[in-house]
Amino acid sequence: MGYFCPMAKSADHFKDVISHAKEYGFVVPSSEIYDGLSAVYDYGQNGAELKNNIRSYWWKAMVQLNENIVGIDAAILMHPTTWKASGHVDAFNDPLIDNKDSKKRYRADVLIEDYVAKIEGKIEKEIQKAKKRFGEAFDQEQYVSTNPRVVEYRKKAETIIKRMARSLEKEDLADVKTLIEELEIACPISGSRNWTDVKQFNLMFGTKLGASAESATDLYLRPETAQGIFVNFLNVQKSGRLKIPFGIAQVGKAFRNEIVARQFIFRMREFEQMEMQFFIRPGSQKEWYEQWKEKRMKWHLSLGLGEENYRFHDHEKLAHYADAAADIEFKFPFGFKELEGIHSRTDFDLASHEEYSGKKLQYFDPELNESYVPYVVETSIGLDRMFLAIFSQALQEEELENGSKRTVLRVPSILAPVKAAILPLVKKDGLPEIGHKLVDELKCHFNLQYDEKDAVGRRYRRQDAIGTPYCITIDHQTLEDQTVTIRERDSMDQRRISLSEVADVLKKEVDMAGWLARL
Ligand code: GAP
């Protein structure tokens, strides 16, 4: 250790992330040969492995570690009434506005929020200036509540947000437009203030079931996986003889026709969710909501990406189904943004499905000797967003002692696409044969790469760039004493171990079991 120095992430770190993801087979635009499809992406050979490993770490932490949580796999296509009952047909909308000059479309609430973020930026500047001026004696709380300029800024920001929330809640879209005009918000592209009216835009993708146009049924591609869990609530509870409290977990694709789809795989039109609905007694939701907030944060922190990169954000404006909600936010290259949501969904969904389907969705509680519609606390995380969090945080440039640079993807070893690279020093003298034999011995346990091309230093760099935690080099000494060099990705330390020890060393370091045990 100690012979490299991590370099500060460049201002263009996000651009580096996107180009590294493409260059090393992690993520590419979908159907790229036709110039791609906006906000739809494909995962390449390394991306698919990393994504599988994240999925598996989540699934095991949910289903394997909790006796009272089971996993299912529901269909993407669901009966259309599902989306009426869930409220998505009527309420899964974003308010959109077009700029008549640039012809660009925006989310009206995002334009206003960006405006407020600028005011918050000014407050932060004032605080930093005052911090410098007052030094040790600076009392931030007192300063922000008494400094006239800061008080004025805060009042302005609060008034704007409150008015926007009120207008959106009342569906007063004309006032949302008036607010944009009063604030003199201009189109970031054209600089013009020539806006259309604000309209609601439903985010669900429609499709058709059936062969002929007359008999076809209109369907939606599911915008969240949660509803597949709700409609199966009784099937799972009965067939699994589950007692409340219990959870149902699911991983699967979801689709949203996002108005503003940008920031790479942060906001996609086709993405994957990892959701868990926890069914509880009515009245116990506060307690479970707090427990799940804590449990989910612990899961995130277990990956070692740095405590300072996470924070909670409690929702003020609640979704149509929630009585409390918080996000776990992560510090992405473009700032703190939502990574996961924890929602107390009350009995909204089950009660509504009861009403629309005419089927009872109740649980008989033997301890209370009564039946009720359970309440639900949900944890919901985007797999692709989790991928971006890990990938962008892990990608680092380092300056080595000899002045050269290396790019290294410091992903947690259990998530690494390739766990070890087997590298014969030369392509002769029986070294490749030993390498192939080692691959055969290990390949049932670990995803490996065998590489005999180029100088070993270049091969190490290639593995660093895809995050391989260990490189095993076979050289002429191996022929004599059956030992190999094992090189560790992060420290670049090298040591010799015997061939027969390799499997155990890898098992100890890259096996998920050890990490799960610490949760
Ligand atoms: N069932 C609740 C639900 O769907 P949400 O806050 O709309 O709640 C949950 O979504 C998570 O899904 C988000 O925290 C985010 O990680 C992910 N997500 C949502 N929309 C996404 C999109 N367009 N692209 C990628 N991930 C998305």
Q: What is the 3-state secondary structure (H, E, C) of 391-453?
A: HHHHEEEEEECCCCEEEEECCCHHHCCCCEEEEECCCCCCHHHHHHHHHHHHCCCCCEEECCC
Q: What is the distance between the alpha carbons of residues 61 and 156, in angstroms, rounded to a whole number?
A: 44
| Domain final residue pick, 371, 387, 410 | 410
The secondary structure element, H or E, covering residue 289 is helix 285-301
C-alpha distances in angstroms, 311 versus 224, 319, 329? 24, 20, 5
Residue 329, ligand 1, Cβ within 6 A: no
Greater model confidence, 249 or 2: 249
The secondary structure element, H or E, covering residue 27 is strand 27-29
Residue 226, ligand 1, Cβ within 6 A: yes
* Burial (CB count <10 Å: 0-12, 13-18, 19+), residue 294: exposed
User: Could you tell me if residue 240 is inside a domain?
Assistant: yes
Pocket test for ligand 1, best of 271, 310, 330, 388 (most atoms within 8 A of CB): 271
Sequence-distant (6+) residues with CB within 8 A of 60 are 512, 516
pTM of the model: 0.90
Query: Residues 330, 453: one domain?
Result: no
Does the pLDDT value for residue 213 go beyond 90?
Answer: no
Query: Residues 169, 23: one domain?
Result: no
User: Could you tell me if residue 178 is inside a domain?
Assistant: yes
Sequence-distant (6+) residues with CB within 8 A of 14 are 263, 264, 333, 334, 392
- Tokens standing for 160? 């704007």
**Predicted local distance difference test score (pLDDT) of residue 215:** 78
Query: Residues 224, 265: one domain?
Result: yes
Q: What is the distance between the alpha carbons of residues 17 and 126, in angstroms, rounded to a whole number?
A: 32
For the CA of 256, the closest atom of ligand 1 is: 23
**Predicted local distance difference test score (pLDDT) of residue 192:** 95
Query: Residues 274, 138: one domain?
Result: no
Residue 412, ligand 1, Cβ within 6 A: no
Does the pLDDT value for residue 27 go beyond 90?
Answer: yes
Greater model confidence, 260 or 141: 141
Q: What is the distance between the alpha carbons of residues 381 and 361, in angstroms, rounded to a whole number?
A: 26
Query: Residues 247, 366: one domain?
Result: yes
Residue 227's nearest CA partner among 133, 99, 318, 92 is 92
CATH of the domain at 492: 3.40.50.800
Does the pLDDT value for residue 360 go beyond 50?
Answer: yes
Query: Residues 405, 281: one domain?
Result: yes
Residue 224, ligand 1, Cβ within 6 A: yes
Beta bridge mates, 335: 332
**Predicted local distance difference test score (pLDDT) of residue 4:** 65
CA of 425 to the centre of ligand 1 (A): 47
Give mean pLDDT, residues 330-355: 96
User: In the structure, what pLDDT confidence band is assigned to residue 257 with cuts at 50, 70 and 90?
Assistant: very high
Coil, helix or strand at residue 374:
coil
Please give the mean pLDDT across all residues of the chain: 94
User: Could you tell me if residue 313 is inside a domain?
Assistant: yes
CA of 381 to the centre of ligand 1 (A): 6
> What sections of 443-501 are H helices per DSSP?
456-466, 476-481
Q: 389: domain range?
A: 1-78+217-410
Tally of CB atoms within 10 A around 468: 27
| Domain final residue pick, 158, 178, 202 | 202
Nearest CA to ligand 1 atom 19: 382
Pairing of strands 420-424, 470-474: parallel
Name the DSSP letter for residue 37.
Answer: B
Give the tens place of pLDDT for each residue, 409-452.
Answer: 999 999 999 999 999 999 999 999 999 999 999 999 999 999 99
Provide the strand spans (E) within 197-269.
199-202, 206-209, 217-220, 246-255
User: Could you tell me if residue 228 is inside a domain?
Assistant: yes
Sheet holding 494-498, edge to edge: 448-450, 420-424, 470-474, 483-488, 494-498
User: Could you tell me if residue 484 is inside a domain?
Assistant: yes
Nearest CA to ligand 1 atom 22: 267
CATH of the domain at 110: 3.30.40.230
Give mean pLDDT, residues 284-304: 98
User: Could you tell me if residue 303 is inside a domain?
Assistant: yes
Does the pLDDT value for residue 1 go beyond 50?
Answer: no
User: Could you tell me if residue 13 is inside a domain?
Assistant: yes
For the CA of 226, the closest atom of ligand 1 is: 1
**Predicted local distance difference test score (pLDDT) of residue 226:** 98
Query: Residues 441, 389: one domain?
Result: no
C-alpha distances in angstroms, 497 versus 163, 421, 448? 67, 15, 18
Coil, helix or strand at residue 358:
coil
Give mean pLDDT, residues 271-292: 98
Query: Residues 234, 337: one domain?
Result: yes
Query: Residues 401, 332: one domain?
Result: yes
User: Could you tell me if residue 212 is inside a domain?
Assistant: no
Q: What is the distance between the alpha carbons of residues 168 and 179, in angstroms, rounded to a whole number?
A: 12
Give the tens place of pLDDT for each residue, 45-89.
Answer: 999 999 999 999 999 999 999 999 999 999 999 999 999 999 999
CA of 224 to the centre of ligand 1 (A): 8
Asked if 301 and 293 count as a contact pair (C-beta separation under 8 A), the reply is: no
Residue 382, ligand 1, Cβ within 6 A: yes
Pocket test for ligand 1, best of 224, 380, 391 (most atoms within 8 A of CB): 380
Residue 270, ligand 1, Cβ within 6 A: no
* Burial (CB count <10 Å: 0-12, 13-18, 19+), residue 183: middle
State how far Cα 425 lies from the chain centre.
39
Q: What is the distance between the alpha carbons of residues 483 and 497, in angstroms, rounded to a whole number?
A: 5
For the CA of 267, the closest atom of ligand 1 is: 24
Residue 267, ligand 1, Cβ within 6 A: yes
Provide the strand spans (E) within 305-403.
310-314, 324-332, 335-346, 363-365, 370-372, 375-382, 395-400
Q: What is the distance between the alpha carbons of residues 446 and 494, in angstroms, rounded to a whole number?
A: 21
**Predicted local distance difference test score (pLDDT) of residue 2:** 42
> What sections of 24-80 are H helices per DSSP?
45-59
Q: How many structural domains is the chain composed of?
A: 3
Amino acid at 279: F
CATH of the domain at 359: 3.30.930.10
Query: Residues 400, 456: one domain?
Result: no
Query: Residues 227, 355: one domain?
Result: yes
Query: Residues 259, 369: one domain?
Result: yes
- Tokens standing for 225? 């996986």
| Domain final residue pick, 382, 410, 438 | 410
